[in-house]
């Protein structure tokens, strides 16, 4: 009987991580359809590089405004509600993009997609962390998160090749319709298979008579107190914000630079190779050797990998150098997310986890907005490649912040 019970418990434990993996992979595949041709699609409608960035500014601005209230919604109505609502809104945004041909049509699609992402940001990871914690398995969080992220990126490889071919030979709009379809599939999968939350937010459990806007404000207020009481969280969010500022030029101009260097017909293949690089980063983040290091030391190493190769590659933009440099950059970015998420969540109470993560994401999105505007302006005045030089140096400015945090927090918590 004990063996049967242990086997059943093992299946229940696996159910959480397998559900997270499946939904994560489907959602990643949805985004994979638009990755290779996103910027080229906008340029094909007579937008310049600054206008392309400006479209994305509406996305990031919407995230900035929506992430905190939607994070509080996740802590009040449940992580499952947020994940499913997020996938539905993202699908609507992709479908609007498929139908649109004008700047403001694209902006409408971005706002809908941003609403979806704001619901999902932090909520799905909080769902995983809390369910693992309920099984006393929270130490496995980074490994499971990295594993899911890795397979999400690997699943994009064939998607990226197909999307690149469709964009080159059929239509630059069709990948958006395919993205919407896969996001709807992720919505249905999450709706039927995600387990409901087992915990309420701190604010609701302490004040059960509060509802609606009062509850949302209470959760947000308590989350801000948590952030302000812990300088380590402030420092980590600051590092995150600088990173999101710096990477916008790479996000927006890789397709333009590699199109000029290698040709548009190879963008789908290059995109797939980049997904392999990010998956390698996720795999590296789950390696057991990292457990022996302080998380801030691991983050410092990752930031160096993100910034230094691209500084060298942008200074010497030869084809044989710039692509390997970008691959190293993507490996570092893949490793950053799970290491960062694992460390910052150790300082956040369960009932406020989604809201605190959303507040952090809101600040990081402010960095994204600034990065898009600055890199867009500079690219018009100079060139996309020049923005990569500035962005690389900016990213390396994170290292002194992490060093100061390490001096003040030499222990894991």
In a domain, 218, yes or no: yes
> What global pTM score does this model have?
0.72
Q: Is 97 exposed, middle or buried (0-12, 13-18, 19+ CB in 10 A)?
A: buried
Q: Which of 183, 165, 154, 169 is nearest to 83 (CA)?
A: 183
Whether 165 and 80 have beta carbons less than 8 Å apart is answered as no
Residue 301 covered by a domain: yes
Look at residue 392 and tell me if it is in a domain. Answer: yes
Please give the pLDDT value at position 285. 83
Beta strands in 289-348 (DSSP E): none
- How far is the CA of 323 from the CAs of 121, 190, 266, 271, 345, in angstroms? 30, 36, 13, 11, 34
- Supply angle C-alpha 56, 342, 309, rounded to 5: 55
Is 21 inside a domain boundary? yes
Q: Is residue 413 part of a domain?
A: no
Domain that holds residue 108: 2-408
Position 182 scores a pLDDT of: 95
- With tokens 């990998």, the residue in question is 305
pLDDT for residue 154:
87
Q: What is the pLDDT of residue 107?
A: 95
Residue 47 lies in a domain: yes
The pair of three-digit structure tokens given for residue 62, joined into one six-digit string? 């919407």
CATH number for the domain spanning 394: value is 1.20.1250.20
Residue 213, in any domain of the structure: yes
pLDDT attached to residue 105 = 94
Residue 320's pLDDT is 80
Q: Nearest Cα to 77, choosing from 199, 244, 260?
A: 199
* Domain count across the chain: 1
Mean pLDDT by runs of 10 across the 413 residues of the chain is 45 68 90 88 90 89 80 75 91 95 94 90 78 77 82 87 87 94 93 68 39 66 82 89 93 88 84 88 79 81 94 86 93 90 81 78 86 90 92 94 81 53
CA distances from 218 to 74, 77, 230, 272, 297 (A): 13, 14, 19, 44, 35
Residue 142 belongs to a domain: yes
Vertex 243 angle, CA 124 and 326, to 5°: 100
């Amino acid at each position: 009987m004990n063996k049967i019970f242990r086997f059943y418990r093992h299946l229940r434990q696996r159910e959480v991580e397998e559900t997270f993996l499946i939904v994560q992979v489907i959602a990643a595949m949805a985004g994979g359809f638009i990755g290779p041709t996103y910027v080229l699609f906008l340029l094909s409608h007579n937008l310049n590089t600054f206008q392309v960035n400006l479209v994305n500014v509406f996305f990031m601005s919407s995230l900035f405004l929506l992430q905190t209230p939607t994070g509080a919604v996740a802590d009040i109505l449940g992580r499952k509600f947020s994940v499913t609502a997020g996938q539905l809104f993202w699908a609507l945004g992709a479908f609007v993009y498929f139908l649109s041909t004008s700047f403001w049509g694209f902006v409408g699609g971005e706002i809908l997609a941003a609403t979806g992402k704001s619901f999902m940001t932090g909520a799905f990871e909080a769902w995983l962390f809390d369910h693992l914690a309920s099984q006393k398995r929270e130490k496995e969080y980074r490994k499971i998160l990295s594993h899911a992220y890795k397979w999400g990126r690997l699943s994009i490889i064939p998607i990226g090749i197909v999307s690149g071919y469709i964009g080159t030979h059929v239509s630059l709009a069709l990948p958006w319709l395919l993205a919407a379809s896969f996001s709807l599939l992720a919505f249905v999968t999450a709706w039927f298979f995600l387990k409901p939350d087992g915990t309420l937010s701190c604010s609701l459990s302490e004040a059960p008579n509060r509802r609606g806007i009062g509850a949302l404000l209470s959760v947000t207020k308590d989350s801000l107190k948590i952030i302000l009481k812990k300088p380590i969280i402030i420092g980590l969010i600051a590092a995150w914000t600088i990173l999101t500022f710096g990477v916008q030029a790479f996000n927006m101009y890789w397709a333009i630079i590699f199109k000029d260097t290698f040709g548009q017909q190879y963008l789908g293949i290059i995109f797939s190779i980049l997904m392999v690089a990010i998956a390698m980063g996720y795999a590296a983040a789950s390696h057991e050797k990292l457990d022996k290091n302080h998380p801030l030391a691991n983050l410092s190493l990752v930031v160096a990998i993100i910034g230094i190769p691209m500084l060298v590659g942008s200074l010497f933009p030869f084809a044989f150098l710039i692509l390997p440099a970008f691959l190293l950059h993507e490996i570092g970015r893949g490793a950053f997310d799970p290491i960062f998420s694992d460390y910052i969540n150790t300082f956040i109470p369960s009932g406020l986890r989604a809201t605190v993560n959303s507040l952090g994401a809101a600040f990081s999105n402010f960095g994204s907005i600034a990065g898009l505007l600055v890199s867009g302006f500079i690219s018009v005045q100079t060139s996309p490649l020049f923005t990569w030089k500035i962005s690389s140096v900016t990213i390396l400015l994170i290292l002194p912040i992490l060093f100061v945090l390490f001096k003040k927090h030499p222990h894991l918590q």
